[in-house]
Amino acid sequence: MTSVAAPTVLRANTFAKESLREVIGVASITGLTMIYVSAIGMVAVFNERFIIDPVLTMGYLVLFSIPVFAGHRFTRQEALEGLEVAPLSGADVAKAVVAGALAGFFLASFALIVEIFPQLRDTFPNLSPKMVELITLGYGTGAAFVVLPVASGLLAAIGASVAWLPRKLYKASLVGISTVLITSVFDAVIDDFFDWLPAIPDFLYAPISGLTVVSAIVVFVLSATLSFVLSGRDTSIRERLTTSASGTGKRNQMILIGLIGIAIIVLPQFLGGILNELFTNVGFFLIMALGLNVVVGYAGLLDLGYVAFFAVGAYTMAILTSPLSPFFSPEWSWWLAFPFVLIVATIAGLLVGTPVLRMRGDYLAIVTLGFGEIVRITLLSDWLAPLFGGAQGIRQIPGIQVAGTEVSAITPELMIYAMMAFVFIAAYISWRIEDSRVGRAWAAMREDEDVAEAVGVDTVKAKLMAFITGAIIASFAGALFAAKVGSVFASSFQIVTSIIILVIVIVGGMGNIAGVAVGALILVGILGGPNQPGLLQEFGQFKLLLYGALLVYMMLKRPEGILPSKRRQQELHQEEVLQDAWLDKQAQAADLEGED
Partner 1 sequence: MTATAKKPPETEDSHQRERRALRLSWVDLFLWAIRIAAIIIIVVGLIGSIQKFIAGEGISAEGWRDLLVSSLSQGAMYGLLALGYSMVYGVLGFINFAHGEVFMSGTMVGFIAANWLFENGIWDSNPILSLLLVLLVAMVTSTLLAVIIERVAYRRLRGSPRLIPLITSIGMSFFIQYSFAGFFGAGFNTYPPPPEILAGSVTIFGVEIRTTQLTVIIIAIVAMIGLWYFVTKTKTGRAVRAVAEDKEIAGLMGINVDRTIVAVFAIGGAMAGVAALMWALLFRSVNFLTGFIPGIKAFTAAVLGGVGNMAGAMGGGVLLGLFEGLGPLLILGGLGIEGATQLKDAVAFMALVLVLVFRPSGLFGERLGSDDRV
Partner 2 sequence: MALLETRGLEKAFGGVRAIQDLDFAIDKGEIVSIIGPNGAGKTSFFNVVSGMFEPDGGQILFDGINIGGHTPSGIAKAGIARTFQNVRLFPNMTVLENVKVGQHCRTQRGIFSAIFQTPAFKREEKEIEEKAKDVLSFFGSRLVGYRFDEPAFTLSYANRRRLEIARAMATEPRVLLLDEPTAGMNPRETIELTDLIGRLRDERGFTIVVIEHDMKVVQGVSDRVLVLDHGVKIAEGKYEDVSRNEDVIEAYLGRPADIRKTR
| Gap between the Cα atoms of 159 and 218, Å rounded | 23
Q: Based on CB atoms, which residue is closest to partner 1, 432 or 461?
A: 461
Q: Smallest distance from the beta carbon of 594 to partner 2, in angstroms? A: 20
Q: Which is nearer to partner 2, 18 or 580 (CB)?
A: 580
304 binds, among partner 1, partner 2, none (CB under 5 to 8 A by kind): partner 1
Q: How far apart are CA 520 and CA 579, in angstroms?
A: 33
- In terms of Cα–Cα distance, which of 276, 293, 319, 296 is closest to 479? 319
**What are the distances in angstroms from CA 219 to CA 39, 133, 195, 204, 586?**
33, 31, 20, 9, 48
Report the distance separating Cα 125 and Cα 40, nearest Å: 9
Say if CB 333 and CB 499 are below 8 A apart: no
Nearest distance from residue 574's CB to partner 2, in Å?
Answer: 6
Instruction: State the nearest-atom distance from the C-beta of 588 to partner 2, in Å.
Output: 11
Give the residue with the Cβ less far from partner 2, 162 or 429: 429
**Do the beta carbons of residue 538 and residue 483 sit within 8 Å?**
no
Q: Considering CB distances under 5 to 8 angstroms, the limit depending on partner class, which of partner 1, partner 2, none binds residue 499?
A: partner 1
Shortest distance, CB of residue 67 to partner 2, whole angstroms?
41
429 binds, among partner 1, partner 2, none (CB under 5 to 8 A by kind): partner 2
Residue 50 in 3-state DSSP? Answer: strand
Binding site partner of 432, from partner 1, partner 2, none, Cβ cut-off 5-8 A by kind = partner 2
485 binds, among partner 1, partner 2, none (CB under 5 to 8 A by kind): none
Q: What three-state secondary structure class fits 57?
A: strand
Of 133 and 571, the one with the shorter C-beta distance to partner 2 is 571
β-pairing, 50-53 vs 211-212, is parallel
Cβ 394 vs Cβ 485: under 8 Å: no
What are the residues whose beta carbons fall under 8 Å from the beta carbon of 544, sequence distance 6 or more? 496, 530
Q: Which is nearer to partner 1, 118 or 355 (CB)?
A: 355
Which of partner 2, partner 1, none interacts with 365 (beta carbon under 5 to 8 A by kind)? partner 1
Residue closer to partner 1, measured from CB, 15 or 383: 383
DSSP summary character for residue 51: E
Cβ nearer to partner 2, comparing 282 with 427: 427
* Cα angle: 448, vertex 449, 453; to 5 degrees: 120
Helices H, strands E: what count in the chain? Answer: 27, 5
d(CA 565, CA 551) in angstroms, rounded, equals: 18
Q: CA-CA distance, 142 to 112, in Å (whole number)?
A: 8
Shortest spacing between CB 328 and partner 2, in angstroms: 30
Residue 469 interaction partner, one of partner 2, partner 1, none, beta carbon < 5-8 Å per kind = partner 2
- Cβ closer to partner 1: 274 or 366? 366
354 binds, among partner 2, partner 1, none (CB under 5 to 8 A by kind): partner 1
Q: Distance between CA atoms of 270 and 123, rounded to whole angstroms?
A: 48
User: Could you tell which of partner 1, partner 2, none binds residue 578, using a CB distance below 5 to 8 A set by kind?
Assistant: partner 2
CB-count burial class (<10 Å; 0-12, 13-18, 19+) for 40: middle
Least distance (Å) between residue 453 CB and partner 2: 5
Rounded least distance, CB 109 to partner 1, Å = 18
Q: Which residues bind partner 1 (CB under 8 A)?
A: 36, 39-42, 123-126, 300, 302, 304, 354-363, 365-367, 369-371, 373-374, 377-378, 380-383, 450, 453, 460, 496, 499, 502-503, 506, 541-542, 544-545, 547-556, 559, 571-572
The entry of partner 1, partner 2, none that residue 381 binds, CB within 5 to 8 Å by partner kind: partner 1
Cα distance between residue 497 and residue 489, in whole Å: 14
**Least distance (Å) between residue 548 CB and partner 1:** 3
Quote the radius of gyration of the chain (alpha carbons, Å).
Answer: 28
One-character DSSP codes across 205-222:
B-SSSSEEHHHHHHHHHH
570 binds, among partner 1, partner 2, none (CB under 5 to 8 A by kind): partner 2
User: Which residues sit at the interface with partner 2, rule CB under 8 A?
Assistant: 245-246, 428-429, 432-433, 436-441, 443-444, 447-448, 450-460, 465, 469, 567-568, 570-571, 574, 577-578, 581
Q: Which is nearer to partner 2, 351 or 577 (CB)?
A: 577
Nearest one of 452, 140, 463, 149 to 294, comparing CA atoms: 463
Least distance (Å) between residue 443 CB and partner 2: 6
In contact, 78 and 72? CB cutoff 8 Å: no
Question: Measured from the CB atom, is 17 or 250 closer to partner 2?
Answer: 250
**3-state SS record for 365-394:** HHHHHHHHHHHHHHHHCCCCHHHHCHHHCE
User: Closer CB to partner 2, residue 66 or residue 441?
Assistant: 441
